[in-house]
A = this chain, B = another copy of it.
Amino acid sequence: MGKIEDAIQQREFKDPYNKAVVNLLYTHSYLVTAQSALFKPCDISPEQYNVLRILRGQNGQPTTVSSIQDRMLNKMSNASRLVEKLKTKGMVRREECPTDRRQVDVVITEKGIQLLQSLERQVEIANREFINLDKDEVNQLNFLLDKLRG
């Protein structure tokens, strides 16, 4: 029984909208805690994993820092510093963009690709484990979240 009322020991909410905000914040914390534990052995954070996924999605094409920023889950995050962290770990390369010297092209390295591959299966299983819903319910959740943001 995972009711939010029990989880945070709050018996009533002002209205279902207020409850939904609290429920989303709490569920996020639940997810990130689980994800962090999953990535910890690889010495990588959930956000760093996400940046690597974005880069792999480019199929080897270089991606600028601002393009990474646009695709990040958290728009207020800082792609520049995350790329720097991944570079010191040897997961990405940074190159000056030939057509615009303001921009910086970022490419995932072989080491980065192999890290993603080694995590792929685990992440798939873990996602299913974290989310205790059947197929219809998870599709319904995706529909509601998309609609929620308008």
Contact = CB atoms under 8 A, between A and B. Distances in A.
Contacts of A100: none
Interface string A33-68: 101000000000010000000000100000000000
Contacts of A124: 14-15, 17-18
Q: What is the copy number of this chain in the assembly?
A: 2
B142 A20 contact: yes
Contacts of A141: 20, 23, 141, 144-145, 148
Interface of A: 2-4, 7-10, 14-33, 35, 46, 57, 70-76, 123-124, 127-128, 130-133, 135, 137-142, 144-150
Q: Which 6 residue pairs across A and B have the least CB separation, nearest first?
A: A132-B150, A2-B149, A28-B28, A29-B74, A17-B127, A23-B145
